[in-house]
C-alpha cells in the first residue's frame, strides 16, 4: 500500500509538519518511523545507562560533595570497589517549543580535588527552571566518608556511611538510614526519615513530617507544620513543632527529654527503668497509665508535675492548645 502524505499548517507561527500515515500492517521499519515522530513531541527517554560515569581512588575518609538542580541523589556504601563511583543519569523531556533537549545549557562537573569528590550540575541560563531536565546521581562510597548532598527539587537517600553528613533539599523527601557520626538533614517541603542512626542528629523541615526510628545519641528535631514521630530511640531528644503532634517512644533515656508544640498533642512513652522528673504544661493531662506505685502527681490548671521513682532524669513537655499523655513501657 502506498503511504499517504498529508500536510497541516497550524498557523503562521508554526512550521509545516510532515506526518507520515502508516497502516498498522506495514513493516517494522515504518512502525519505527511513527515511534520517532511520537517521541519527538514527548519524553525522549529515561537513560538506562549513565550519561556520565566516573571512578576515583581516594584516601581514608573522603568528602563527597553532590549538588544537583532537579533530580534525586542516592548514596550507598560499597567498600569492595575501594574508591568512589559516580553515575549521572539524565531524564529529558522535549517538545517542539522547548529547547531543553540541548544539555549545553548546563554545566556538569565531576572531578576530584585533593581527597574531595565534587559532582555538580549548574544551569548556565539565569531565571530558568530545570524541572524538565532531571539529573539523578547514584554514588557508591567507602564505609567512612563525609557527605555533603544538596538538591533543589528531588529526594535524597543515604545509607550506611560513617562521617560528618549534611543533607539538604528544597522539595523532596530525605531518607537517611544506618548512618554514624554527625548527621544534619534539612528540607523545606519534604518529609525526613531517620532510621537506625548513631551520633549527633539534627533534622529540620518546614512543611513535612519527621520520623525517627531506632536512633541513638543526641537527637534534635524541628518542623513547622508537620508531625514528629519517634520510636525505639536511645539518648536525648529535643523536638519541637508549631502545628503538629509529637509522639515519642523511648528505648532508653540518657540526659533528658524536651518536647514542645503550639497547637498539637504530645504522646510520650518512657522506659520503665529509671526515675523521672516530669514538668508538663498544656490544656489537659493523662497520666493514668503511670499507675500510683512510687509516683507523685501534682496536677493544676494548665500545668502538672510528676515524680517517678524519686525523680532523676528531666522530662519537659509543653503545648499551648493541646493535650499531654505520658505512659511507661511494660518492658
234 falls in which pLDDT band (50, 70, 90)? Answer: very high
Query: Is 140 in the same domain as 228?
Result: no
Query: Do 228 and 274 belong to one domain?
Result: yes
Q: Per the domain annotation, does 178 fall within a domain?
A: no
Confidence label for 132 from pLDDT (cuts 50, 70 and 90): confident
Average pLDDT on 239-254 reads 97
Closest CA to 270 of 310, 232, 299: 232
Do 101 and 143 reside in the same domain of the chain?
yes
Instruction: Report the 10 Å Cβ neighbour count for 95.
Output: 13
Contact 36, 44 (CB under 8 A): no
| pTM, full prediction | 0.83
Is 140 inside any structural domain?
yes
Angle at 115 between CA 112 and CA 119, to 5 degrees: 35
pLDDT of 331 reads 63
- 76/32 same-domain check: no
- Mean local confidence (pLDDT), 215-222: 99
- Give the max Cα distance, the chain: 95
**Residue 322: is its pLDDT beyond 70?**
yes
Name the DSSP letter for residue 7: E
pLDDT for position 131: 59
Q: In whole angstroms, what is the distance from residue 169 CA to residue 137 CA? A: 14
Give residue 33's domain range: 4-39
Q: Could you tell me if residue 179 is inside a domain?
A: no
pLDDT the model gives residue 92? 79
C-alpha to C-alpha distances, 186 to 78, 138, 201, 238, 242, nearest whole angstrom: 25, 20, 11, 16, 17
Does 324 lie in the same domain as 256? yes
Q: What is the pLDDT of residue 93?
A: 65
Same-domain status, 330 and 208 = yes
pLDDT of residue 294: 86
Domain stop point among 112, 136, 168 = 168
219 and 140 assigned to the same domain: no
Q: What confidence tier does 125 reach under pLDDT thresholds 50, 70, 90? A: confident
Question: Within a domain: residue 182?
Answer: no
184 belongs to a structural domain: no
Quote the number of domains for the chain: 3
Residues 266 and 307 grouped into a single domain:
yes
Q: Would 47 be classed as within a structural domain?
A: yes
- Give first-to-last CA distance, the chain, whole Å: 80
- Distance between CA atoms of 202 and 182, rounded to whole angstroms? 8
Q: What is the mean pLDDT of residues 125-131?
A: 61
Same domain, 295 and 319: yes
Tens digits of residue pLDDT in 148-190: 999 999 999 999 999 999 999 999 999 999 999 999 999 999 9
Query: Residues of 79-91 as b/e, b for ≥16 C-beta within 10 angstroms?
Result: eeeebbbbbbbbb
Same domain, 163 and 223: no
Residue 75 has pLDDT above 90, yes or no: yes
- Please check whether residue 204 lies inside any domain of the structure: yes
| Residue from 246, 210, 228 nearest 319 by CA | 246
Which residue bears the cell 522528673?
277
**What distance in Å separates the CA atoms of residue 226 and residue 275, rounded to the nearest whole number?**
31
Give CA–CA dist 102/98, Å, rounded. Answer: 10
pLDDT digits (tens, 9 = 90+) for 268-295: 999 998 899 999 999 999 999 997 778 9
Higher pLDDT, 306 or 124: 306
Confirm whether 186 is domain-assigned.
Answer: no
- What is the pLDDT confidence band of residue 3, given thresholds at 50, 70 and 90? very low
β-partners of residue 200 are 182, 218
pLDDT tens for 5-50 read: 443 333 434 443 433 344 444 444 433 433 333 333 333 345 579 9
Cell 566518608 belongs to: 145
- Grid cell locating 34: 511513527
145 plus 85 within the same structural domain: yes
Q: Once rounded to an integer, what is the mean pLDDT over residues 212-235? A: 98
Parallel, antiparallel, or unpaired: how do β-strands 52-56 and 84-93 relate?
antiparallel
The per-residue pLDDT of the chain, averaged, comes to 86
Looking at residue 292, its pLDDT comes to 73
- Kindly state whether residues 55 and 159 are assigned to the same domain: yes
Amino acid at each position: 500500500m502506498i503511504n499517504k502524505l498529508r500536510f497541516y499548517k497550524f498557523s503562521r507561527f508554526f512550521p509545516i509538519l510532515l506526518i507520515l500515515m502508516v497502516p498498522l500492517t506495514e513493516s517494522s521499519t515504518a512502525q519505527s518511523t511513527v515511534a520517532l515522530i511520537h517521541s519527538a513531541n514527548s519524553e525522549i527517554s529515561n537513560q538506562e545507562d549513565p550519561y556520565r560515569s566516573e571512578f576515583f581512588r581516594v584516601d581514608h575518609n573522603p568528602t563527597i560533595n553532590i549538588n544537583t538542580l532537579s533530580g534525586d541523589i542516592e548514596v550507598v556504601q560499597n567498600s569492595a570497589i575501594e574508591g568512589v563511583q559516580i553515575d549521572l543519569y539524565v531524564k529529558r523531556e522535549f517538545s517542539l517549543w522547548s529547547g531543553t533537549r540541548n544539555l549545553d545549557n548546563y554545566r556538569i562537573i565531576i572531578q576530584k580535588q585533593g581527597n574531595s569528590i565534587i559532582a555538580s550540575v549548574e544551569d548556565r541560563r539565569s531565571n530558568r527552571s530545570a524541572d524538565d531536565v532531571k539529573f539523578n546521581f547514584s554514588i557508591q562510597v567507602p564505609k567512612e566518608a563525609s557527605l555533603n548532598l544538596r538538591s533543589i527539587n528531588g529526594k535524597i537517600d543515604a545509607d550506611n556511611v560513617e562521617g560528618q553528613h549534611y543533607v539538604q533539599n528544597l522539595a523532596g523527601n530525605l531518607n537517611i538510614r544506618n548512618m554514624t557520626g554527625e548527621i544534619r538533614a534539612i528540607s523545606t517541603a519534604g518529609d525526613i526519615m531517620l532510621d537506625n542512626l548513631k551520633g549527633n542528629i539534627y533534622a529540620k523541615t518546614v512543611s513535612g513530617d519527621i520520623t525517627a526510628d531506632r536512633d541513638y545519641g543526641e537527637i534534635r528535631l524541628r518542623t513547622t507544620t508537620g508531625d514528629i514521630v519517634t520510636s525505639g530511640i536511645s539518648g536525648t531528644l529535643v523536638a519541637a513543632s508549631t502545628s503538629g503532634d509529637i509522639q515519642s517512644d523511648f528505648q532508653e533515656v540518657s540526659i533528658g527529654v524536651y518536647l514542645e508544640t503550639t497547637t498539637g498533642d504530645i504522646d510520650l512513652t518512657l522506659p520503665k527503668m529509671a526515675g523521672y522528673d516530669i514538668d508538663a504544661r498544656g490544656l489537659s493531662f493523662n497520666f493514668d497509665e503511670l499507675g500510683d506505685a512510687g509516683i507523685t502527681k501534682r496536677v493544676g490548671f494548665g500545668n502538672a508535675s510528676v515524680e517517678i521513682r524519686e525523680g532523676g532524669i528531666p522530662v519537659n513537655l509543653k503545648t499551648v492548645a493541646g493535650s499531654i499523655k505520658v505512659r511507661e513501657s511494660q518492658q
